[in-house]
Amino acid sequence: MILSVPLLFLMCFSIVTDERKVLPSRRSNETETSNSTQTISKSSPHLQRLVEGCREKRFTHRSCQKVFCQPWERCIKGTCECKLPYQCPKIVNEVCSSRKKQYRSYCQLKSIECIRHLEHFSHFGKCSLGKAAVSLSPANSSQGFVLFSFNQTLQGLPIRVNEKEWTMHEANVVCRQLNFHLGAEKILDTVRARNLKAAMFVNWSNSTRCRGSETRISECFLLTDIANARKSDSYEKFAAVKCYDYPTGRECTEDEFTCVNGKCIPLEDLCNGIDDCADLSDELCCKDCRKSYRCKSDVCIPDFSVCDGEDDCLAGSDESKCTGSSATNDTERGLLKSLLPKISCGISHVTRETSTLKRSKRLLGGKNALPGEFPWQIAVYEGDTLNCGGVFIGGCWILSAAHCLRPYHLSDYVVRIAKHNKRDVAVNEEILPVEKIIVHYEYNPKTYENDIALIKVVHVFKDRKCIPLSEDVQPVCIPWSVYLFRPFHTCVISGWGQAPDGKVSILRWAKVDIFGNCSDIYKSAFYDGMECAGKMDGTVDACKGDSGGPLVCSDERNETYVWGIVSWGEGCGKYGLPGVYTKVSYFFEWISSNVGRALISKYNN
């Protein structure tokens, strides 16, 4: 609630700025929707921070292959799309829009804004409190000090900041609110205000910040951050910005980076963790991050986003080694994210001592698994023969390899869950008939392209789930992004496949590394949607009988994803020839279209 406070505001500020000139064009203009790529000298040390070939993919803040979607968005075919308002969590924390319309929740309003771009956030609470607005001083200018107003008595409040607290995230939001759609050009250097006679100001504290995606500065702080001025405050620094007011189609210079939205930013601002582009395209293809934190998906985030209570890196590395609670005041966003639909997957309730997790010689004759250690492992039988492996992904669904199955011979197959010893029947083991087999519509049996299939089992339990969960039976997570795990990440394969002595009864496992140069190894035989993993010396590999089984990788949250399905290889355990797997993340949309997105969407739903 805001109290009426008399306000007298007289400000004498000076701004130190240097105007950037538009240089003559050296090529055809590039518009926001252009697919052309800016030609810049490769010798630039700043450009050398970029991952080769990534920039051409034109990733932005809406690319859910690289980033998490906002709570009012969901990931559809690699892009964060607007949710409908009814898909927001059912919470009541009223907010007021820029059109003075009351909404039940922040998410509902942001969903409307995302869809229609007509209404924006004003403030939390009743519309009768006032209406938030922002302006620059001097007025009618593209640069100046930032002033915040709320109601008739709170007009033209400056924002007190220091260099560490006010970034291009905040500057972009302010300029976006003033209808400069590409955000800010830069933060202005300011001379300390010596003649400030403001009764109040907005205090931009350490717990206050914008994430950069907001459209109104009032989304970034609380009205309780408005404070009374003191004599000592006359020597503080206040927020000032220069908005990006260049004409559409301006060509970037050789010293600038062309953002996906067409904005030009200095090359030295690449990969610094800050969204200078205002669409995040300067931070999503970085093999090296300057003065910021690098996610394993080649994304740079600001250091202040590490241990802030919200995952920014896909694998959760920015929050995995944190103690204590977040220092930000973004409680509404935290509550909203905590209420989003969640699925439980990728958790094994059986662990072993770290000392036993030493390198296996190979899966063929590798380590015996403990009962329940791989609760997603499935045995697919054809008649009385264990034909292939599979992996449980939730509901009635099993993921396996297409080359293992004949979809028109359903009665030949059964699925065994909680299987551990081929020669024994476990306590929780169940034998389930198959209702449906879906082989990928572009599977090529000659090349093993798209070697993936879904098995749906018959729901035989009237009073239980289709596949009852237990300590020995849990679904694995399905990866939505091909950037979740990268080359050299160590993962695990499991199965009942061939061993050197030919005798395998108990489920076995082995560690393997993801390779990054598979196309160099297998040349034309390696296609999109394939992954290879193993050990270069051939000491660890999958083999005959492991087909259809899982290659699983764990993220920083200790959640396990099925990264690959055993597909093919040149023999077993040959030097320099790792096993080839179907890359599951590549087929996320195909899987979700068949089993339902709600069943497998761990995030972005």
Q: Fill in the amino acid letter for 226.
A: I
Q: In this structure, what is the dihedral angle of CA atoms 89, 94, 96, 100, given to the nearest 10 degrees?
A: 110
Which amino acids are annotated catalytic?
403, 451, 547
User: What's the CA gap between 602 and 598, in Å, rounded?
Assistant: 8
Question: 405: which 2 tokens?
Answer: 């199955």
Cis peptide before 138 (omega within 30 of 0): yes
Does position 224 have pLDDT exceeding 90, yes or no? no
Phi/psi of residue 319, each to 5°?
Answer: -120, 5
Q: Could you tell me the domains of the chain?
A: 68-131 (3.30.60.30)
DSSP secondary structure of 1-44: --------------EE--PPPPPPPSS----TT--------TT-
Angle (nearest 5°) at CA 483 between 211 and 453: 130
Question: 247: which 2 tokens?
Answer: 């004409």
3-state SS class at 238: strand
The pLDDT tens digits of the residues spanning 463-504 come to: 788 999 999 999 999 999 999 999 999 999 999 876 656 677
User: What's the CA gap between 553 and 542, in Å, rounded?
Assistant: 15
What does pLDDT average to over the chain? 84
Question: 558: which 2 tokens?
Answer: 């200790």
Does position 106 have pLDDT exceeding 80, yes or no? yes
Pick the range with the lowest mean pLDDT from 133-137, 351-355, 374-378, 496-500. Answer: 351-355
Does position 510 have pLDDT exceeding 50, yes or no? yes
Share of the chain above pLDDT 70, in %: 83
How much is the average pLDDT of 176-196?
A: 81
pLDDT band at 423 (very low <50, low <70, confident <90, very high): confident
Adjacent-strand bridge partners of 417: 430
Does position 34 have pLDDT exceeding 50, yes or no? no
Does position 194 have pLDDT exceeding 60, yes or no? no
Residues 103, 112: contact at Cβ < 8 Å? yes
